[in-house]
A and B are shown apart, each in its own frame.
Chain A
Amino acid sequence: MQEAAAAPILSVENIALSFGGVKALRDVSLTVAADSITSLVGPNGAGKTSLFNSISGFYRPQQGRIVYQGDDITHVATPKRAGMGLARTFQNIALFRGMTVLDNIKLGRHTHMRTGVLDALFYYGRPKREEMELRAEVEEKIIDFLEIDHIRHAPVAALPYGLQKRVELARALAMQPKLLMLDEPVAGMNREETEDMARFILDVREEWGVTILMVEHDMRLVMDISDHVVVLNFGQVIASGLPADVQHNAEVERAYFGSGDYSALRKRPRNAPTGADAA
Chain B
Amino acid sequence: MNALLDFIEFSLSGLSVGAIYALTGIGFVLVYKATRVINFAIGEFMMIGAYVFFGFAAKMALPMWAAILLAFVVTGAVGGLAERAIFRRMIGESAISVFMVTIGLSSIIIGVVEIIWTADPQSLPSFLPDNPFFIPLGFGEAFLPSKNGWGFIIAALTVAAIVVVFRYWRGGVALRATAADSQAAYSVGINVPGVFSFAWILGALTAAGAGILVGSIAGISSAMGAIGLSVLVVVIVGGLDSIVGALVGGLLVGWLEAMASLTLGAEYKQLATFIVLMLMLLVKPYGLFGTHDIERL
In the assembled complex, B226 has its CB within 8 A of some CB on chain A? no
In the assembled complex, B191 has its CB within 8 A of some CB on chain A? yes
Given A110-B173, A121-B161, A121-B164, the answer on whether A78 and B180 have CB atoms closer than 8 Å is no
CB <8 Å contact, A96 and B190: no
Specify which chain B residues have a CB less than 8 angstroms from the CB of A110 in the assembled complex. 170, 173-174, 177, 188-190
In the assembled complex, A79 has its CB within 8 A of some CB on chain B? yes
**CB 8 Å contact bits of A148-178 with B (1 = contact, 0 = none):** 0000000000000000000000010001000
CB <8 Å contact, B191 and A79: yes
Closest to B170 in A: A115
Specify which chain A residues have a CB less than 8 angstroms from the CB of B134 in the assembled complex. none
Specify which chain A residues have a CB less than 8 angstroms from the CB of B170 in the assembled complex. 110, 113, 115, 120, 127
Specify which chain A residues have a CB less than 8 angstroms from the CB of B184 in the assembled complex. 90, 94-96
CB <8 Å contact, B187 and A123: no
A142 to chain B, nearest CB (A): 14
B188 partner, pick from A80, A82, A97, A116, beta carbons under 8 A: A82
Given A95-B184, A96-B184, the answer on whether A117 and B189 have CB atoms closer than 8 Å is no
**CB 8 Å contact bits of A77-88 with B (1 = contact, 0 = none):** 111101100011
Report the interface size for chain A: residues with CB under 8 A from the other chain.
32
Specify which chain B residues have a CB less than 8 angstroms from the CB of A171 in the assembled complex. 188
Given A97-B181, A98-B291, A110-B177, the answer on whether A78 and B168 have CB atoms closer than 8 Å is no
A175 partner, pick from B165, B183, B189, beta carbons under 8 A: B189
B221-247 at interface with A (beta carbon < 8 Å): none
> What DSSP secondary structure best describes chain B's contact surface?
helix
A95-117 at interface with B (beta carbon < 8 Å): 95-99, 107-108, 110-111, 113, 115-117
How many chain B residues sit at the interface, stated as a range, is: 20 to 34
A77–B169 Cα gap in the complex (Å)?
23
Closest to A56 in B: B187
A9–B15 Cα gap in the complex (Å)?
60
Given A110-B170, A121-B161, A121-B164, the answer on whether A82 and B181 have CB atoms closer than 8 Å is no
In the assembled complex, A58 has its CB within 8 A of some CB on chain B? yes
Output the residue of B167, B170, B177 with the most chain A CB within 10 A: B170
Closest to A89 in B: B187
A79–B193 Cα gap in the complex (Å)?
10
CB <8 Å contact, A111 and B188: yes
Q: Please give 4 more A-B residue pairs, beta carbons under 8 A apart, in addition to A87-B188, A90-B187.
A: A77-B191, A79-B192, A107-B190, A120-B170
16 contacts between A and B (CB under 8 A): A79-B186, A79-B192, A94-B183, A96-B180, A96-B184, A96-B185, A97-B180, A97-B181, A108-B188, A110-B174, A110-B189, A116-B169, A120-B171, A121-B164, A121-B165, A127-B168
- Show the binding face of A for B, using Cβ within 8 Å: 56, 58, 77-80, 82-83, 87-88, 90, 94-99, 107-108, 110-111, 113, 115-117, 119-121, 123, 127, 171, 175
